[in-house]
Amino acid sequence: MSPVSTDIRRGRAPLFFILYYLYVWLHVRPDLVYHAQQPVFFEGKAFLVDFLARPGGLTEYVGAFLLQLHYYPWAGALFVTAGAWLVYRLTRALTGVGGWRSSPGWPFIPPVLLLVLHSRYSYALHLDLALLGALLGALAYMRVPLRRVAARWCAFLVLSVLLWYTVAATYLLFAVLCGIYEAANARRRLLGLSYLACVPLAVLAHGAALQIVQADAWLLQFPYYDLYQSSGPVLLVTGALLYIFYPLAVGGEAIRQRLPGLSLLRPVAPRRGSDAASAVWALGFALLAVVPAFLLFDSDARALLELDRGARHAAWERVVEKGADLREYDVLAVYNIQQALYHVGELPERMFAFPVIANAPVISPNTLEPGSLAALSHILYELGSVNQAEHMAHEALEILGDRPSLLQRLVLINILKGRAPAARVFLGRLEKSSLYDKWVEHYRRALDSGSPLSGNAELSRISSLMPRSDSPGYLPAEVLLRLLLVQNPKNRMAFEYLMAHYLLTGQPEKIAEGIGHLNDYPEHYEYPTIPTHYEEAILLHMAGLRSQGGEDPQLPLHGRKIRPESLQRFEDFRRILRAHRDDRDAARRELAQSHGDTYWFYFAFSDPPPVQASAGPPPPVNPQQ
């Protein structure tokens, strides 16, 4: 009975892979992988041809297609688990060839390493396929019933061409495995060495085929190197372990036999036991194996992805809830939280209870954070600044590729701009991604009707917020928000974002000025009292005036009053601050506990301290279209 069937019979492998599946499905969550990568896959020859034109492109194409499965978490988990199971089967077979037939735990190691890789969210699925291809090729070579050296060389050559084309640089694993097999296991050293010599040749050939001209781009050929560049060392180290495992597995027994000192390392065959004992063993091994996956699991990335996914799907309450638990954050998370706070009506109440980007405009494009450009496009869109939303969406589209979510945004933007033919082109592009059939059909019908805004409350609402007269220029956040508000004083989002901008950039005096706006359009600004952060800014501003003039300033609060509890809290803040007059750190520590969610705390302790944001330089120029 083969080791695999033994594993299956004893329940080791099935139990292991059932747990594996559940872990991927429920803990890693393939839908978050899909959201992180938003794989671009289009039907049609034109999309395929680009892939076929380069080595490894076929695997990337299939990988991009299969990554669509991650849209449905259960299906994505099933595919990842099936891939891991195939790797397990191939590993078992290869370690058998290498003489480690009696080591039942070893074949589970690659699936565990793959689990670590899949837990990092930026891992490219096609690398699984490439690995499978290389292992399958190596096994096929080892089992080919040819004895003559020339015949084996021919088999190697045929498989080399096939694999080099389909899996690109992962082919190197195949060549190394075949070389080790021949040299160490099959005692055909010259043949094996000739295979190993193919490795540098393949690297050169691959580079030439890719038409690489930069010296530093050669490394990009290797699996995981580009991921290392974008995602850090965990992927690279784990990938390296995965690729080192196989040469050791195939050549290990031969090395051990040649080095008597290593004989002690001979693995111990498991004793025969009951099926129940085997199941317990499998469970224990699975739990043990999952430890590195747990330890290396990128929980911060998952939290940020959940947040972003929630924001893109307008699950605002969930975004606020998740935002409260963040351990780390980035610009994208801050944008998402502030957008969510606006939607749940708490932006002027709780903004400083969440992470903020200190002393920065409330919206600020940064091409170094392409994910934030997509979020920024969404925010600008909701603000009614459709032209600026269009600009950001195009920036993101250029940097991130033709992601369906960006194509959807551009469809809506072009509808709003009355540019139906352009909307149709983006729909046509999106249509080639079959997951969005219904969405495409809905908007195509709307366009066919000739009045796509009618019956669409969201589009109609955004349309009502759009500026009607042109204000050309390079518009920094404050100017843009003021402009939107001047053109449409009922644009509550623009008002709250403008106020948030004043708060973030240390302009409390403008908050006081903005209070009058609430009274002008009461039906659109249903705040029962002055919102908390606005009260905090007004109190801060009054304190500043008092310290300059010595008299109690009279601020035009338009009949509104500062709540007593806010006054009391401000007094408490000042008292604690005075008590630690000589020890700023102590003041910060104590106030973080009692007043960490206030504007006063942000104003006093943010680093860098808030000052009025400058307009900033204009963006780089590429006027060639």
Partner 1 sequence: MTGRHSVPVLLGLSALAVALNALCGCAPSIDAYEAAGRPPSIDPAYTGAVIPANIAPLNFTVREPGSEYLVEVYGSSGDHIRIASSGPGIRIPISPWRELLEKSRGTEIHFDVYVRQGEGQWVRFDRITNTIAPDDVDGYLAYRLLKPLYNKYVNIGIYQRDLHSFEETAILENNRADRACLNCHTFPNNRPDPFLLHTRSRHGLTMLVARRDTVSTVATQTEFNSSPAAYSSWHPSERLVAFSVNKVSLFFHTVGETRDVFDAASDLALYLIDSNTLTTTAGISSPDRAEVWPTWSPDGHYLYFSSAPVLPIERFDEVRYSLMRIGYDVDSGEWGKLEMVLSAEDTGLSITQPRISPDGRFLLFCMADYGSFPVYLSSSDLYLMDLVSGEYRRLGINSEQADSWHSWSSNSRWIVFSSKRRNGLMARPYLSYVDVRGKVHKPLLLPQQDPAFYDSFIRTYNVPELIAGPVQIDSRALARAVVAPERPLTARLDPRVRVTAPSPK
- What residues line the site for partner 1 (CB under 8 A)? 43-46, 68, 211-215, 367, 385, 387-388, 390-391, 394-395, 397-399, 402, 414, 419, 421-422, 424-426, 428-429, 431-432, 434-435, 466-475, 480, 483, 618-625
In this structure, are residues 112 and 292 in contact, taking their beta carbons and an 8 Å threshold? yes
Residue number, 56 or 247, with CB nearest to partner 1 = 56
Smallest separation, CB 440 to partner 1 (Å): 11
Contacts of 67 (CB under 8 A, 6+ apart): 33, 34, 37, 39, 41, 76, 125
Smallest separation, CB 25 to partner 1 (Å): 19
Which DSSP letter does residue 36 get?
A: H
Residue number, 248 or 399, with CB nearest to partner 1 = 399
Residue number, 162 or 210, with CB nearest to partner 1 = 210
Residue number, 434 or 454, with CB nearest to partner 1 = 434
The residue count of the chain comes to 625
In this structure, are residues 512 and 555 in contact, taking their beta carbons and an 8 Å threshold? yes
Owner of token pair 């490394």: 219
In this structure, are residues 123 and 139 in contact, taking their beta carbons and an 8 Å threshold? no
Smallest separation, CB 348 to partner 1 (Å): 25
Interatomic CA distance for residues 68 and 31, integer angstroms: 9
Smallest separation, CB 453 to partner 1 (Å): 17
Residue number, 484 or 604, with CB nearest to partner 1 = 484
Residue number, 144 or 212, with CB nearest to partner 1 = 212
Interatomic CA distance for residues 249 and 5, integer angstroms: 20
Q: How many CB atoms lie within 10 A of CB 577?
A: 18
Interatomic CA distance for residues 571 and 152, integer angstroms: 86
User: What letter represents residue 214's amino acid?
Assistant: Q
Contacts of 497 (CB under 8 A, 6+ apart): 338, 342, 347, 362, 363, 379, 383, 477, 481
Residue number, 1 or 46, with CB nearest to partner 1 = 46
In this structure, are residues 414 and 426 in contact, taking their beta carbons and an 8 Å threshold? yes
Residue number, 263 or 469, with CB nearest to partner 1 = 469
Smallest separation, CB 63 to partner 1 (Å): 15
Residue number, 203 or 425, with CB nearest to partner 1 = 425
Smallest separation, CB 373 to partner 1 (Å): 9
Contacts of 459 (CB under 8 A, 6+ apart): 412, 415, 416, 452, 453
Smallest separation, CB 489 to partner 1 (Å): 16
Residue number, 361 or 506, with CB nearest to partner 1 = 361
Interatomic CA distance for residues 239 and 218, integer angstroms: 18
Strands (E), 257-401: none
CA dihedral sign, ordered 456, 433, 409, 372? positive
In this structure, are residues 238 and 113 in contact, taking their beta carbons and an 8 Å threshold? yes
Smallest separation, CB 68 to partner 1 (Å): 7
Smallest separation, CB 69 to partner 1 (Å): 8
Residue number, 216 or 325, with CB nearest to partner 1 = 216
201: left (phi over 0), alpha (psi -120 to 50) or beta: alpha
Interatomic CA distance for residues 243 and 9, integer angstroms: 29
User: What letter represents residue 275's amino acid?
Assistant: D
Residue number, 232 or 428, with CB nearest to partner 1 = 428
Contacts of 239 (CB under 8 A, 6+ apart): 117, 127, 223, 224, 227
Smallest separation, CB 52 to partner 1 (Å): 14
Smallest separation, CB 439 to partner 1 (Å): 14
Quote the tokens at residue 578. Answer: 């005075």
Smallest separation, CB 619 to partner 1 (Å): 5
In this structure, are residues 600 and 570 in contact, taking their beta carbons and an 8 Å threshold? yes
Residue number, 240 or 422, with CB nearest to partner 1 = 422
Smallest separation, CB 408 to partner 1 (Å): 13
B/e letters for 236-251, b = 16+ CB within 10 Å, e = fewer, are bebbbebbebbbebbb
Give the helix/strand (H/E) hosting 619.
none
